[in-house]
Structure 1
């Protein structure tokens, strides 16, 4: 019988954008792929790949205990029905709740992907501090499985979670991001005409959207000849999301353009002079490694995840977080110096080839699956041998 690999992800589109190549490669290696996820409109797409889909009622915006209990009950049924050889937990709620259920149902092997620590670790104030304390306790419980590998995308997250969960080094791995298809995101010449500066992300405060808008407004006041484009949608399930009305107001006053959600990111990047992401914190942002692969200079913030996605001063520029004036100055320096943009973009492509090739990322995941399955089978054989010896 084929081995079963179960992904647990908060929403279907995130799985398709960030984990699909891993699932397809595992499928080619003989794994039967199961996905437990919240659904939008991507169910048939998942099924066309031959995956078995288990819908979850997973409200990303809720932090209530009632919703958590319901999700854990759903996961209990999925885990016990599927009986996977490996459970791969992705995004914060699946990691915390799925990790607990994986221990309670004695799953043989668990892979945990820490792809960013989320707004709990960004929020300020007393309530946020209490939440961080509680989340830290949950991490210790969720990541306490005896046969677990926790994958981190940057050293900052590794340090924090390792301390919170008291993880040993043997239970951690570093894989820098979700990888990029170097052929699909080909090295492109810089476009002519008026420079286009792109921020591609969900339109939430934590991505630095307001800083980008304020920087664009400042540069227009300075007479800078450039276009500034937001590529993405609002995310009503996220507490820091902007609204359609707010974004439309920015467009209406001429500060930015809004291109919406785009499935053709290589074409978006082909139109851009540079890519900007003034995020407050990330795992390792996919858009920045896609930008590097296409040969685009990057301006981003000096925070965990973002700083790990570039070679500072070589492939892009780092600016202080929440500082739109520094952001505007960095953007302006690249707008006015296309030769510097070209050099940074060329260096970015070389950096992507060395560091972010999707084939390396997929291979690393498949090795982890095999390692954990081997350990679980060895533990089972040892237990059987031990019981046989006592008869």
Structure 2
């Protein structure tokens, strides 16, 4: 089956719309007198081409009785299908050949643009902006209620494949060149910024985050770029770790009483009040929130406070430990969080950014977001000049894992793999870079880490500022995580030309073309992890080939400029 549609509100089952050996004419428009469906049915009655179906899609308004009566009286009633309304017309358009419009008057119908974008050829009445759209090259025109001419135009397209293909190509090209949605958005934003500049208006962007250190390490380049565009930027964070550094770069920094792991209801209400107060004081045009609490609280406040007018952009940088419930209590809490997500992210001005398609699909499938307001951006990006390939390496084959020391990052499996390799006498070193995160419920026990280090299973060097130095000296990057957004540590490692070993979970699997730039292993499986390390570390040629492939991927999709442009499209900034 080529496609699938939602049938809850449909008059037919989708299987009824598979027409082998038939061509399909489609009309997508509300059922009203203005749309003049009677003309279409009367013209279809006169079409001479034998194997053709007419599919009518649209919501019944003031003319449904006339439509159904016209269908029942048609001499081709068996070939006319009234599908009813549909929230997803693309699958229906994809089975059609000709798009029909018989309106008495029109502006510029979106349904026709959508049909042309996939190569359908329109036949339309000569109304509104349609003659300019079709331009004699992308479709055919007739006068209103000229039934004979309309039928002849349909027959011409149905029987002349060469003419149809010519118009179809022209239609697709015209939409791509003149009606591209991204170009339209950039045009509108350009007009907006032009007006704003003339009036001396300075766009305001509020970044809402748990931790100023996280923002500084991941999204500083984004903040600097919008500031260079002339925007006034405020960073509201739950701590002051990077306050001095951010202020020295010209950003306004506000401290919020926001804790990542806080569960005291009074303190959480205080956090909500403080976020609301800051939004009202700063009056941002765009609120961009990162991680669970800022996303939930910022979106919720923006939804319930009618005085907040800015767009709300929520970055889901992974679903976190809560999405991996270990008991009934965790499942209950995760269920509540999903409901809160659904409430908070349902505001009309809300846009949700994900770092991988799996997380986006999860939100859409659970009706938390929808396809129209959901976007994928490939992480936070990387400085390709700082993180680059070096041929100076440690003397011993070194595998590097850079992460907070959490169970959910697969640290236990990494240690166990180190034990397996040591017991088998494999001459490699498992470098572990990162610190204990005591505020996270998934944190590792420092005693266990030190014990593994002392036994030689791993080489733990704690938190380090210059990660690029350690990546460049290492041979293989590893992250056996249980779930990620788009792991920054692997993005940076790929930019340094390292092959990657990671798990088959959301966020991690997107980092590896299995067998090309690394190896994907099952999650929570130390034996398979150790096997992958042995396989890769024993082949210098494989490491080099995969490492070069990693670098090429980074240059294509993970550079800061590429990531910045993806955010700009969502912001509406040219």
TM-score (norm 1): 0.92
CA–CA distance in structure 2, aligned partners of residues 94 and 164 of structure 1: 21
Match of 2:337 among 135, 138, 149: 135
**In the superposition, relative to structure 1, how do residues 317 and 91 fare at CA in structure 2: closer, same or farther (>3 Å)?**
same
TM-score (norm 2): 0.63
Question: 2:409·2:481 contact (CA, 8 Å) conserved in 1?
Answer: yes
Secondary structure, aligned partner of 1:275: strand
Instruction: Give the match for residue 101 of structure 1.
Output: 301
Give yes or no for the alignment of 1:329 onto 2:527: no
CA–CA distance in structure 2, aligned partners of residues 322 and 107 of structure 1: 45
Greater relative contact order (Cα 8 A, min sep 6): structure 1 or 2? 1
CA–CA distance in structure 1, aligned partners of residues 267 and 527 of structure 2: 41
- What are the within-5 Å matches in structure 2 for residues 34-45 of structure 1? 34-45=234-245
Question: 2:325·2:334 contact (CA, 8 Å) conserved in 1?
Answer: no
Match of 2:542 among 340, 357, 372: 340
Give yes or no for the alignment of 1:232 onto 2:434: yes
Give yes or no for the alignment of 1:253 onto 2:455: yes
Question: 2:388·2:472 contact (CA, 8 Å) conserved in 1?
Answer: no
Match of 1:117 among 319, 326, 329: 319
Instruction: Give the match for residue 263 of structure 1.
Output: 465
Secondary structure, aligned partner of 1:139: helix
CA–CA distance in structure 1, aligned partners of residues 371 and 386 of structure 2: 35
CA–CA distance in structure 2, aligned partners of residues 350 and 175 of structure 1: 18
Per the TM alignment, residue 305 of structure 1 is displaced from its structure 2 partner at its CA by 0.2
Question: 1:68·1:97 contact (CA, 8 Å) conserved in 2?
Answer: no
Question: 2:557·2:563 contact (CA, 8 Å) conserved in 1?
Answer: no
Gaps of 5+ in 1: 375-391
Once the two structures are superposed, what CA deviation does each residue of 1:172-218 show, in whole Å capped at 9, x if it has no partner? 11111111111111122262511111110000101000100010011
Match of 1:355 among 529, 553, 557: 557
Give yes or no for the alignment of 1:318 onto 2:537: no
Question: 1:182·1:353 contact (CA, 8 Å) conserved in 2?
Answer: yes
Give yes or no for the alignment of 1:304 onto 2:506: yes
CA–CA distance in structure 1, aligned partners of residues 367 and 548 of structure 2: 40
Once the two structures are superposed, what CA deviation does each residue of 1:79-128 show, in whole Å capped at 9, x if it has no partner? 11111010001011111111101212333211110110011111222112
**In the superposition, relative to structure 1, how do residues 170 and 233 fare at CA in structure 2: closer, same or farther (>3 Å)?**
same
CA–CA distance in structure 2, aligned partners of residues 85 and 93 of structure 1: 21
Instruction: Give the match for residue 282 of structure 1.
Output: 484
Once the two structures are superposed, what CA deviation does each residue of 1:35-94 show, in whole Å capped at 9, x if it has no partner? 110225321011111110110122212234333212111101111111101000101111
Give yes or no for the alignment of 1:26 onto 2:226: yes
CA–CA distance in structure 2, aligned partners of residues 247 and 101 of structure 1: 41
CA–CA distance in structure 2, aligned partners of residues 166 and 36 of structure 1: 25
Deviates more, 1:315-324 or 1:348-357: 348-357
Once the two structures are superposed, what CA deviation does each residue of 1:351-374 show, in whole Å capped at 9, x if it has no partner? 111121210111121222126xx9
Q: Matched residue pairs, number?
A: 372
CA–CA distance in structure 1, aligned partners of residues 264 and 254 of structure 2: 22
Instruction: Give the match for residue 388 of structure 1.
Output: none
CA–CA distance in structure 2, aligned partners of residues 109 and 67 of structure 1: 26
Per the TM alignment, residue 333 of structure 1 is displaced from its structure 2 partner at its CA by 0.9
Secondary structure, aligned partner of 1:259: strand
Question: 2:323·2:334 contact (CA, 8 Å) conserved in 1?
Answer: yes
Once the two structures are superposed, what CA deviation does each residue of 1:107-163 show, in whole Å capped at 9, x if it has no partner? 321111011001111122211221122111101111112112111111110011123
CA RMSD of aligned residues (A): 1.5
Which structure has the greater CA radius of gyration?
2
Per the TM alignment, residue 165 of structure 1 is displaced from its structure 2 partner at its CA by 4.2
